[in-house]
Chains A and B, each alone.
Chain A
Amino acid sequence: AQSVTQPDIHITVSEGASLELRCNYSYGATPYLFWYVQSPGQGLQLLLKYFSGDTLVQGIKGFEAEFKRSQSSFNLRKPSVHWSDAAEYFCAVGNNDMRFGAGTRLTVKP
């Protein structure tokens, strides 16, 4: 069965610092992978997605993610974090029955 693990429940970074959010997946076939962001009390917005091809995927708001099949990972990165990036981030795998990780809450220090 497919599943997603986000090992970090909460991460705090300083504004301007780099960011990496971890995501590991378990999937029986070629995975379809996603990163979503959720602001408090809101729905989810897609940041980026990977289906095939280039393993480094560019998304909105300056985010990128790298698919590493050998490590079953799809980590999200941003070179310089802005205060507005504070939110909850979810990694997801699948297609019709999309599965989400538990989420990582990002706090940005001024």
Chain B
Amino acid sequence: SQTIHQWPATLVQPVGSPLSLECTVEGTSNPNLYWYRQAAGRGLQLLFYSVGIGQISSEVPQNLSASRPQDRQFILSSKKLLLSDSGFYLCAWSPAGKKYTEAFFGQGTRLTVV
């Protein structure tokens, strides 16, 4: 069966510090991968999605970036965090090549920038 791992679960970082959140998927190949941010009352905002290694689509201009160094690994990064980067970050995957399918979510990372 497929599983998705996301870490860390919580993170407190000072303003201006770097960020690296990691997400890995097991039990499937070439998944579509996603990073979402959830802010209170604003639902889930799609930040990045990837349909393959090195293929990243950015939805929202910001000081965050994403990378996919391996087939089942998706990393969210920042060189310098802002206070506004605080939020709940969710990684998700969906099967490649299947047109009608839902996304499967990790447990999320609560990021607080202080």
Cβ contact within 8 Å between B102 and A49? yes
Instruction: Give A98 to B101 CA distance when docked, in angstroms.
Output: 10
Give A30-74 as 1s and 0s: 1 = Cβ < 8 Å from B's Cβ atoms: 001010100001111110010110000000000000000000000
Considering only CB atoms and an 8 Å cut-off, how many residues of chain B contact the other chain?
28
Give B82-94 as 1s and 0s: 1 = Cβ < 8 Å from A's Cβ atoms: 0000001010101
B-contacting 9-mer, from A12-20, A79-87, A89-97:
A89-97
Give the residues in chain B near A92, CB-CB below 8 Å: 44
Is A108 an interface residue, CB under 8 A from the partner? Answer: no
Cβ contact within 8 Å between B107 and A96? no
Cβ contact within 8 Å between A95 and B99? yes
Cβ contact within 8 Å between A99 and B46? yes
A-contacting 9-mer, from B13-21, B35-43, B63-71:
B35-43
Cβ contact within 8 Å between A41 and B110? yes
Cβ contact within 8 Å between B43 and A90? yes
Is B34 an interface residue, CB under 8 A from the partner? Answer: yes
Q: Which of B36, B43, B57 contacts A102 (CB 8 A)?
A: B43
Shortest C-beta distance, A65 to chain B (Å), equals 13
| Interface positions of A (Cβ within 8 A of B) | 4, 6, 9, 32, 34, 36, 41-46, 49, 51-52, 90, 92, 95-103
| Interface positions of B (Cβ within 8 A of A) | 32, 34, 36, 41-46, 49, 51, 57, 59, 88, 90, 92, 94, 99-108, 110
Q: 24 A-B contacts, Cβ less than 8 Å apart?
A: A4-B43, A6-B43, A36-B105, A41-B88, A41-B108, A41-B110, A42-B107, A43-B107, A43-B108, A44-B92, A49-B102, A52-B100, A95-B100, A95-B101, A96-B32, A96-B49, A98-B34, A98-B46, A98-B103, A100-B43, A100-B45, A101-B43, A103-B43, A103-B44
